[in-house]
A = this chain, B = another copy of it.
């Protein structure tokens, strides 16, 4: 019945959910989600990516792929709340030296650096850059289910020596079972013992385990928890915020406010045809520990020949 005051809940709906609708949320949607997150006690809200405008045309995506300072401010003003604002910067897809203001001129509080494990050196360069600018930083090591133990240990020991604030275990392929997620969480936690660094978990729901894995890693000491409203996120989606807030015992989290948002904004979004969430094709790619791109393609084509699809994945193993 204890309250864990170290827990921080991060809403990644606009960022991971943006992968489902090309980041084309209305301003009203984002503004109401911001108000809802504040009222629900959410600790961080991620607004989207800071993607390179040299690599990606602004005209081809919604604005939350780029998170211009003025676009965030149009939603949050000076953000006169205790909720912090995060953005994500992908290694190799972000002009980080030109696209970030010093923290004292920005409404952004935290920059989350996403990388694959072989990109750790590049991630560290970015982390130190953002740290020098004054931001809180995270390193989100993606696709961790495909990394071997030696790589993981090396990456963690390199990160432990940096100024990064939070290291995230990211189950991009939704491939981890709770026993795997907790074993990895223990390795991450051990790597930052005796430091101020925290460990985070970002789940995908391919095997319908996003919520279960999140509360499993939480029970071992992971404290930064990503969730999205109704699990909205790429492919099978993420840990659902409503399940997580229902589980957490801290009275600062308020489920009721979130339900009003779901009714008014998420149900219409689904009705418009934006698709995400657990389905068999995602279970297959999770089970086989591979990228969901083929499953996303299967979904986009509205196929339902599951057995043929499964067979084709086995043949291309």
Contact = CB atoms under 8 A, between A and B. Distances in A.
Interface of A: 177-179, 207-209, 211-213, 215-216, 219, 240, 242-243, 246-247, 255-256, 259-260, 262-263, 267, 280, 283, 287, 304-307, 310-311
Nearest to A230: B280
Q: For the complex formed by this chain, how many copies does it contain in all?
A: 2
A77 to B, nearest CB: 26
Given A243-B283, A256-B310, A259-B310, 6 more contacts: A178-B215, A178-B216, A208-B211, A208-B212, A246-B287, A259-B307
18 contacts: A177-B215, A178-B215, A178-B216, A207-B211, A207-B247, A209-B211, A211-B212, A212-B212, A212-B213, A242-B280, A242-B283, A246-B283, A255-B310, A256-B310, A259-B306, A262-B306, A262-B307, A267-B304
Nearest to A314: B256
Contacts of A179: 219
Contacts of A247: 177, 207
A306 B215 CA distance: 24
Contacts of A208: 208, 211-212, 240, 243
Contacts of A280: 242, 259, 262
A175 to B, nearest CB: 11
Given A179-B219, A256-B307, A311-B256, A207 B263 contact: no
A243 B174 CA distance: 13
A207 B243 contact: yes
A157 B287 CA distance: 40
Contact of A212 (B209, B219, B246): B209
A213 B306 CA distance: 26
A256 B312 CA distance: 12
B307 A260 contact: yes
Contacts of A178: 178, 212, 215-216
A275 B89 CA distance: 41
A117 to B, nearest CB: 24
A311 to B, nearest CB: 7
A266 to B, nearest CB: 10
Nearest to A216: B178
Most buried by B among A213, A263, A311: A263
A301 to B, nearest CB: 15
A207 B131 CA distance: 39
Contact of A263 (B260, B287, B305): B305
A217 to B, nearest CB: 12
Most buried by B among A213, A215, A219: A215
